[in-house]
Amino acid sequence: MVNALQYEEVDQSGNSITFLVAVLDCISNAVFGNKRSEIHFLDIDGVQNLLNLVENSDYTIKRLALSNLCSILESPKSFKYFVEWNSKKTSINATQMLIALYAQEDSRFGCVVEDGIIRNTERPLFPLVSYLKQKYGYDPSQDTTNKNETQKSESMQHDD
Q: Answer whether residue 10 shows pLDDT above 60.
A: no
Q: What percent of the chain has pLDDT over 90?
A: 34
Cβ burial, residue 34 (10 Å; 0-12/13-18/19+): exposed
CB 115 within 8 Å of CB 104: no
Q: Which residues pair with 26 in a beta bridge?
A: none
Burial 90-126 (b: 16+ CB within 10 A, else e): eeebbeebbeeeeeeeeeeeebeeeeeeeeeeeeeee
Q: What's the mean pLDDT in 89-108?
A: 89
Q: Which of the four pLDDT bands, split at 50, 70 and 90, describes residue 119?
A: confident
The tens digit of pLDDT for each residue in 21-41 reads 888 999 999 999 889 999 999
Query: What value does the mean pLDDT of the chain take?
Result: 79
Q: Which of the four pLDDT bands, split at 50, 70 and 90, describes residue 114?
A: confident
Domain spans of the chain, in order of start? 2-91, 129-160
pLDDT for position 8: 47
Distance separating alpha carbons of residues 6 and 82, to the nearest angstrom: 16
* Residue from 127, 135, 133, 65 nearest 98 by CA: 65
